[in-house]
Amino acid sequence: MARRVTPAQYRSIVNRAINDYNRQARQINAERRRAVDAYNRQVREVNRQVRAHNARVLENRRRLNAAIANFNRRTSKPTTVTVRTTTYHSAVRTLHGAYEAVEQSAPGTWLEDREDILDLAQAEAANSVRLAEAVGLDAVPAGPAPDPAVVARLRDVDDELADRWSGALFSLDPRNPDAARHFSTSCREILVQMIDRDAPDAEVLAAYPDAVLGDGRPTRRAKLAYSLVRSGRASDELAAFADADVNEVIELFRVFNDGTHGEAGVFDHQHLRLIQGRVEGAITFIHALLR
């Protein structure tokens, strides 16, 4: 049987229910406001980071374009540079053009979400121009500090490559008359092996029997394209850029050897450090691309 209540008791029960409802509603609304405020703070922080990133990208792009324009003006003047140096300068320009193609192709692709890859690619293009400018100078700016993480990146591929890098650094001494040959030979092999081990000839040819060949083997660009497709990150533009990046470093090695043994004289320690930094950047970029 239902309990009988007086009108006063009924009003008290109703009021308690209303008060409980209002208290719960206030609590829910407060929690909702806190959640909305937290979300808005996150949105503002993300927007701030995006604006900062975009501003940095635009500034880096401006500096890169200014650097390549200055480089083109300087190297377009009649000089007595060697054919090898001219080839190196051409490789620098090719790398810059390849970076512009990557940047233009990024919107709407997986690259749009991989700012690390785009940042590293931009850094490679900028370092290339910076070093090309320094190669012809007697006094060059201080290079970046050595990157100790390069050894770990190489060990991620193969311990042998990390050991070879340590040997290359050991040989890179201004007092070593054979520094250029030792260093460039080791580093060229490291870059080539990083790509070859990720894309063995047999695997590339099995997947793409019509792959472009060079000396009877899939070209470096074909291997890079295969690696990107296999990892679900296909990009012809990025494969072309990575190929141009390695090629530019190899052309730098040829000028480096000329400068150490030929008429250009011996590179000093500052030059050697800049060249080491250029190679470190290439190793870092290839590692990020293929991992």
Give pLDDT tens digits for 106-165. Answer: 888 988 888 889 889 999 999 898 888 776 655 556 666 778 899 999 999 999 999 999
In a shared domain, residues 116 and 181: yes
Q: Average pLDDT for residues 26-42, to the nearest whole number?
A: 85
Q: Work out how many domains the chain is built from and give that number.
A: 2
In a shared domain, residues 16 and 88: no
Q: pLDDT class for 265, splitting at 50, 70, 90?
A: very low
Please state, in angstroms and as integers, the Cα–Cα distance from residue 108 to each residue in 112, 113, 233, 255, 256, following that order.
6, 9, 13, 39, 40
d(CA 183, CA 205): 32
In a shared domain, residues 154 and 115: yes
pLDDT above 80 for 169: yes
In a shared domain, residues 268 and 229: yes
In a shared domain, residues 165 and 284: yes
Query: Where do we find the tokens 């800049």?
Result: 274
In a shared domain, residues 131 and 258: yes
Q: Is residue 186 part of a domain?
A: yes
Q: Average pLDDT for residues 280-289, to the nearest whole number?
A: 94
Phi, psi angles (nearest 5°) of residue 141: -65, 160
In a shared domain, residues 22 and 150: no
In a shared domain, residues 25 and 87: no
Q: Is residue 91 part of a domain?
A: yes
Q: Is residue 69 part of a domain?
A: no
d(CA 124, CA 214): 25
In a shared domain, residues 139 and 214: yes
In a shared domain, residues 146 and 194: yes
- Strongest mean pLDDT among 43-52, 64-73, 172-181, 218-227: 218-227
7-26: string of b/e by CB count within 10 Å (b at 16+)?
eeeeeeeeeeeeeeeeeeee
Phi, psi angles (nearest 5°) of residue 79: -140, -175
The reported pLDDT for the residue numbered 85 is 78
Q: Is residue 283 part of a domain?
A: yes
Give the sign of the dihedral formed by CA 225, CA 226, CA 227, CA 233.
Answer: positive
Domain range holding 83? Answer: 79-290
Q: Of 262, 263, 253, which is closest to residue 192 (Cα–Cα)? A: 253
pTM of the predicted protein model: 0.76
Chain Cα centroid distance, residue 226: 19
Q: pLDDT class for 2, splitting at 50, 70, 90?
A: low
Q: Average pLDDT for residues 185-200, to the nearest whole number?
A: 93
Q: Is residue 209 part of a domain?
A: yes
SS3 per-residue string spanning the chain: CCCCCCHHHHHHHHHHHHHHHHHHHHHHHHHHHHHHHHHHHHHHHHHHHHHHHHHHHHHHHHHHHHHHHHHHHHHHCCCCCCHHHHHHHHHHHHHHHHHHHHHHHCCCCHHHHCHHHHHHHHHHHHHHHHHHHHHCCCCCCCCCCCCCHHHHHHHHHCHHHHHHHHHHHHHCCCCCCCHHHHHHHHHHHHHHHHHHHHCCHHHHHHHCCCCCEECCEECHHHHHHHHHHHCCCCCHHHHHHHHHHHHHHHHHHHHHHHHHHCCCCCCCHHHHHHHHHHHHHHHHHHHHHHC
Chain Cα centroid distance, residue 124: 7
Query: Where do we find the tokens 């991989």?
Result: 114
